[in-house]
Structure 1
C-alpha cells in the first residue's frame, strides 16, 4: 500500500481528494435559478481567491509614449502606464490609421517557459528582439504575429508583459516556485496578480480615445487563453473573448502525468482554494451570456480531448440556459496539437469580426 506520494508528486490519496470536490457553487448545482444573482455571488468568491488587497481607489493610468513607428496601415507604439498601484509597465499598442474609434482586442501572451519575451510573442517587436520573437511565432503561431494581424484588420491592439516576462523579468523556469512562495507569503499569488493586471490593462485599452469602449475583446493562446476567458468572466468591460488551447475539467486534468502536476508554471493559473467551490468551466461560465469562443487541439499533450469535451458540455449548458447558445462556439481540431495555427486564427478573426466589428454588438439577451 502506498502511504505517501505517487504520480507526479501527487499524494497517494489524491483520488479521494479529487472525488470529494463537488463544486457546490456551480450554476448546475444552484437551487435558486437567478442567473445574475448566481454570477454576482460566484464572482465574489473568485475575487476572494485572487488574494488581492482592496485598493483605496483607481490609480490614474498616466500613459507616456516611449517610442512609435509607422507600420503602413497602423501605428505601433510602446506605451508606459500605471498597470497597478505597485508599478508601471510597458505595453505594445497598435492603432489603425483613420478616424476611429476602433474596436479593440487585448491580446494576452502565452507562457511556453520562454520568459525573455512576453508581449513580443504576439506583437512584432523592433530589431533587438525580432529574431527571437519570429522564432516563437514560427513555433506557436504559424509564423504570424496575431496582434499585427488584428491591427491590419482594423482593430486597436494592446499587449502587456505578465510579471516575470520580457522587461518585467525575465524569470528562470525553476524560479517560478520561489516567486509563487514569496507572493503567497506577502498575501497574494502569481495568478491573482496576473488576473488583476489583466483587468487593469483592459480598462486602460477601453479608456483610450482611439477605442470604442463598447467593442473591446480579449484573445489568447495557452496561458493567454486561460487569461482571456478569466478576464471575460471577471470584467464587464470585455464584450467578447476567444481562448485557444486552455480549457478542461479540473478532475480530468488532475491525473498522473499531466503537465499541470509539475508545479512551477502552474502557479500562474492557480488560485488557492477556488476549486473547493467552482470547476474550471464554472469560472469561465461567469462570462455568460457574452460571446465566447473556445478552440482546442485534439492532439494537445496538455489537455485531453475528454477533459476538453467535459468542459465544453458544462459551458454549453450555461450559455443555453440563458438563451445564448448562439453566442458560444466550442471547437476541437482533431489533428492539431498545442498550437494556434493559421487556420485556427482565421476562424477566430472572422468570429471577432462578427461580434466586435464594424458595429457594436446587440445588447445581451435577458437572462432566463
Structure 2
C-alpha cells in the first residue's frame, strides 16, 4: 500500500480484531478486508449502543428533570464551555432600506475567541416582531455562508454563487428574504469556515476537527455554542418579541436548528428540513457521514453512548417542532428517517403535545428545500408563533 494513497481509497484488514476479541486464531478467511473505514465488526459496536439516557429508557420519569439531565449530558460532550458572560458588543454596518425590510450587517462576539458577521433583516413597521434564527447548510461550498439564505446586497462578487445555490436547493428563492417579507426579523451568521470566516477547502475540514480535538475542544461543540449564543443575541434585540423566536435550517442547518432548540430556551419553535435520522440506521456502508470531513461539524465524541440523534432533538419537547425529509434524499435513508420520526412523535405524545410536532416525508423530493416545502414551513411558523 502506498503511504501517500488517499485514505478514502484504502482498504483495511480488520477481521483479525474480531477473532482476537473472541479468543480464536486468525485465519485468512477471518481477516476480512472491507472497502473504506467501516470495520467489519461494526454491527457489534452498534449493538452496544443502547441510548440509556433516552426518554422512556432513562430511570428519570419527570420530563423536566429528564430534560435537565439530558441537556447537561449534551453540553458536557460539546467540549466547549458556555459563553454566557461574553458581551455581544454588536456593530452594525452596510445598512440598506429595501422594499420589504431594512437590511444590515451585524458583527458580534458569540464566544470569547473571535467576532462573527451575519445578515440581519428587519421588516418595516412597528415591532416587536417574531424572529427566525436562520442556519445555513454545509454543501461543501464555503465561499458563501449566510449568503446561501440571504441575498448579499453588500457584495456583488458573491451574488452569482448565492443565486446559483438558491436555484439549486431553494427553488430560486432566498429563504431569509422571504421570511422578512412575511414579517419576521431574520438573523443569519457565518459558521466557522464559510463566507467571511472562510473559505475553507473541503479537504481541510478533517484536519481542522483533529486540531480541535488535540486542543481538548471540538469543532461541532464550537458551532453548537455559537448557535446557542446567536439565539440569545436575537432574543435580546428590542425589535424582537423574545417569546416568538424560531430556529430554521436546511441540511446541516437543519441539524443546527433542532440542536439549538434542544440547548436554548430562547427558541420557541424549530423547523428542520433534510437532517434527521436514527444513528444506527445512518451508520451503514456507503453513508456520506462515514467519510468524516463534513460530519465533524455534527459529531460530539461519546454522546452516542447516552443519546440517539432524535433523543437530543427531543430535549426541545413539547415546544412546536417540524421535521421534513425528501423521500429521494440518499443522505438519509428512509428507514433511519422513519425510526427518528417514530421516536420524536413518541416523546411529544407522552407529553400530550402530539399536535405540536409535524413530521413529513416528501416522496418526490431529494435533498432540497423546495418552494412547496418552504410555503408549508412558512405557514406553520405563522401558526405556531
TM-score interval for Structure 1 and Structure 2 normalised by the shorter chain = over 0.9
Q: Which runs of 5+ in 1 are unaligned?
A: 357-368
TM-score by length of 2: 0.91
State which structure, 1 or 2, has the greater radius of gyration over its C-alpha atoms: 2
1:253-304 deviation line (CA, Å, top 9, x unaligned): 0000101011111000100000000000000000100000000000001001
Work out which structure has the larger RCO, using CA pairs closer than 8 Å and 6 or more positions apart in sequence. 1
Give the distance between the partners of 1:103 and 1:128, measured in 2 at CA: 31
Q: Aligned partners of 1:41 and 1:5: how far apart in 2? A: 41
Q: 2:105 is matched with which residue?
A: 78
Distance change in 2, residues 1:323/1:276 (3 Å): same
State yes or no: 1:111 paired with 2:138. yes
C-alpha distance in 2 between matches for 1:60 and 1:283: 28
| Change beyond 3 A, Cα 1:58–1:12 | same
**Alignment of 1:14 onto 2:42:** yes
Tell me the TM-score normalized by structure 1: 0.95
Q: Over residues 162-221 of structure 1, what are the superposed CA-to-partner deviations in whole Å (9 max), with x where a residue is unaligned?
A: 001011011100000110001111111111100000011111111111101110110000
Distance 1:182 1:155, change over 3 A: same
Counterpart in the other structure of 1:32 = 60
Q: Partner residue of 2:129? A: 102
Q: Is the 8 A contact 2:247 2:267 kept in 1?
A: yes
- Give the CA RMSD over aligned residues: 1.1
Kept in 2: contact 1:4–1:11 (CA 8 A): no
356, 361, 382: which is aligned to 1:332? 361
Measured in 1, the distance between the counterparts of 2:252 and 2:33 equals 28
Larger mean CA deviation between 65-74 and 136-145 belongs to 65-74
Q: Which residue of 1 aligns with 2:267?
A: 238
- In the TM superposition, residue 129 of structure 1 has moved relative to its aligned partner by 1.1
CA distance in 2, matches of 1:5, 1:88: 47
Structure 2 gap segments, 5+ residues each? 1-28
Map of 1:23 onto structure 2: 51
Asked if the contact 2:82–2:225 (Cα under 8 Å) also holds between the matched residues in 1, the reply is: no
1:152 maps to what in 2?
181
1:1-368 aligned at under 5 Å gives the runs 1-3=29-31, 6-55=34-83, 58-126=85-153, 127-356=156-385
Q: Say which SS state the counterpart of residue 241 (structure 2) adopts.
A: strand
